[in-house]
Structure 1
Amino acid sequence: MAHSVRRTLAALVLLGVAVAILASLGAWQLRRADERRAILAAIQAGRAQPPLALAPATAPAELGAWRPARANGQWLAQYSVLLQNRNQEGRPGYWLATPLLLDPARHSAVLVLRGWLPRAEPGQASPPLPATPDGQHGITGELSPRVPRLFELWALGGSQQGQLPATLPVAGGVVPQVQNLELSAYAQATGLTLLPTVLMQTRGDDGLVRDWPQPSVDYDQNQGYALQWFSFAAIAAIAWLVVAWRGLRRSRPAG
């Protein structure tokens, strides 16, 4: 009899823990759905704003993410940087980042993500880059508060692989290849006064691919997962009640 009671209590404890864990997983999926719904609303709100003409005096409050924008200036190709490990439809390659000079007197510029190009052929240090003609150019795109990041495994070990040189341009005209690019570090390396935003170019005739990644906003998927976890929690709760009812029946003295 004592053995049966211990088994019943153990089963109730395990089922109670299962109910709590499964219900918490369902609640977590609902929170993820709310986060993705908020991201979608932010994207839609940003893209619904009127196009912004970028200038050195543009207020940071106007530089909202996903807002359409236009900049006029001169390419500074000597400061170009390649961002590694950016895949496009399964193909390995790079993003090309080049600053656009807005005001020569102030050294004011905006960093432009110009587009994707495939990885260099075997034996090449870097792929051929599209030309950056002299003179004024009008660039259109969408704003991002930063260059989208990749997780750097070697950052935990302190390795310098894939990091930005301390000074740009690099001697010999070598185009640096980095994993991630922080605006503050890039401004220090180039000596430019950068706007606190990145312009992701959306149009151009230089052959670069401009299919920029977007955060996942499929909140319906999270809601579906939440329903599954809550269903499992309900099954575990019913099992808890069944085990408890049977335990009570066994504990009653025979009539």
Structure 2
Amino acid sequence: MSERYAFLRSARWLGLAVAVLAFVAACVVLGMWQWDRFDNRLAEARQVADAYDAEPVPLTEVTGEDLRVAAADEWRPARVTGHYVDGGTVLLRNRPVDGSPAVHAVTPFVADTGVGQVVVVVDRGWLPAEEAEETGAVVPQPPTAGVAMTGRLRPAETAVERDRPTGQIYRLAPDEVIEAASEVTDVGALEDLPVLDGYLVAAGPEISPPGAEDTAASEGSAELGTYPRPSSNWGLNLSYAFQWWLFAAGGLVAVVVLARREAADRAGDAPRPRRVTAEEEEDALVDAQLEDAAER
């Protein structure tokens, strides 16, 4: 190190260097963290796009014999035929849709797989929370006859152990839904049936076969809303990553600029103020006298 920059060995500058290096390291780490989040969200967005646009297939072709919804199959459309549990609709509250407060209508469904029956929890749609409250939570009931429908697969949520209002749930966990349904109707027929470890989000009309009698009560009920396509804002994490790395580079540049400026000051190379000429001093004096006279 030349004598010009010998001051960098001082305690003040060594302390500044340590602080800047800590700042730069923190910015680099935070940038890498945001990059990892960007990478994960981009992978999730690609998975959702592939699954969401796939052709519907029978339920057990996706879940297999273990009846579990894998992460790679989330949002994949599956076809089921069977019947809803009569009177088994329960309400999922405090679950916004597109940023608006909403109440979801959730009903157990008994699906015929060809080799046996399976209980599948179906999120049939939603109502605005305000509308559900105004109508006394009168929710459209599903058909009581057999139906064929298409839904999108979602992994089961974790149940919560807390007191619930009768016929309401806090999570889309199959056991919690069936327990809540048992509070409003008879679910004894479900006791010995396997249950899908996941749930379906309704993605198409519930079609009853010709000649089937549908006795679902619909009077006074509003129409359920459908769910939008899931979105992922992975670009925001990418932006944050580059911002943190720019902060790191800015910290290093700032130290270099400060060091060069102090070296120039110590060597007497710093720009000196321009000397005022006698003529400029005289002009300034005259201007001051004229201003003083004008004020009087």
Q: Considering the TM-score relative to the shorter chain, is it more than 0.5? A: yes
Matched-pair contact (CA < 8 Å) for 2:89–2:141: no
Cα distance in 2, alignment partners of residues 239 and 213 from structure 1: 46
Secondary structure at the residue paired with 1:139?
strand
- Is 1:222 the counterpart of 2:240? The answer is no
Question: How far 1:222 moved relative to its partner?
Answer: 1.7
- 2:85 aligns with one of 66, 71, 76: 76
Paired residues of 1:117 and 1:209 also in contact (CA < 8 A):
yes
Q: CA deviation at 1:128?
A: 0.3
Length, aligned pairs only: 229
Shift of residue 244 of structure 1?
5.4
The aligned residue for residue 45 of structure 1 is: 50
Aligned counterparts of 2:37 and 2:99: Cα–Cα separation in 1: 27
Pair 1:181 & 2:172 matched:
yes
- Structure 1 residues not aligned, in runs of 5+: 164-173
Alpha-carbon spacing, 1:229–1:5, altered in 2? closer, same or farther (3 Å):
same
Q: CA deviation at 1:199?
A: 1.1
Identify the structure with bigger relative contact order (alpha carbons < 8 Å, sequence gap 6+): 1
Query: What's the Cα RMSD here?
Result: 3.7
Aligned to 1:208: 224
If the length of structure 1 is used for normalisation, what is the TM-score?
0.74
Cα deviation 1:149-185 (Å, max 9, x = unaligned): 7xx9xx7xxx72448xxxxxxxxxx5x2222132244
1:90 positional shift: 4.4
Once the 2 structures are TM-superposed, how far is the Cα of residue 212 of structure 1 from its aligned partner? 4.4
Aligned to 1:171: none
Query: 1:121 — aligned with what?
Result: 133
Residue in structure 2 matched with residue 231 of structure 1 by the alignment: 246
Alignment of 1:152-191 (within 5 A): 160-162=162-164, 176-186=167-177, 191=191
Say which SS state the counterpart of residue 195 (structure 1) adopts.
strand
Is 1:30 matched with 2:30?
no
Check whether the contact 2:121–2:198 (CA below 8 A) recurs between aligned residues: yes
For 1:199, the equivalent position in structure 2 comes to: 200
Q: CA deviation at 1:186?
A: 4.3
Q: Higher Cα Rg: structure 1 or 2?
A: 2
Distance 1:235 1:219, change over 3 A: same
Structure 2: state its 5+ residue gaps. Answer: 1-6, 207-221, 268-296
Distance 2:124 2:253 in 1: 57
SS of 1:225 mapped into structure 2: helix
Alignment partner of 2:133: what SS? coil
How has the CA–CA distance of structure 1 residues 219 and 160 changed in structure 2, closer, same or farther, with 3 Å as cutoff?
closer
Secondary structure of 2:149's partner?
strand
1:66 to 68, 75, 96: 75
The correspondence for 1:133, drawn from 143, 149, 164, is 143
- Quick one: distance in 1 between partners of 2:223 and 2:117? 28
Contact 1:29/1:225, CA 8 A, preserved across alignment: yes
Counterpart CA distance in 2 for 1:58 and 1:28 is: 33
Tell me how far 1:73 sits from its aligned partner: 0.9
Aligned partner of 1:179: which letter? Y
Equivalent residues of 1:84, 1:95 under 8 A apart: yes
Greater CA drift, 176-185 or 69-78: 176-185
- Structure 1 contact 55–71 (Cα < 8 Å) conserved: no
Partners of 2:48 and 2:62 lie apart in 1 by: 24
1:93 aligned to which of 99, 102, 112: 102
Q: Distance in 2 between matches of 1:183 and 1:200?
A: 13
What TM-score, normalized to structure 2?
A: 0.64
Taking only the aligned residue pairs, the percentage that are identical comes to 29
Tell me if structure 2 keeps the 8 A contact 1:15–1:239.
no
Please state how far the C-alpha of 1:61 moved relative to its aligned partner: 7.3
Residues 125-165 of structure 1 show CA distances to partners (whole Å, capped at 9, x for unaligned) of x5101122221111112111225x7xx9xx7xxx72448xx
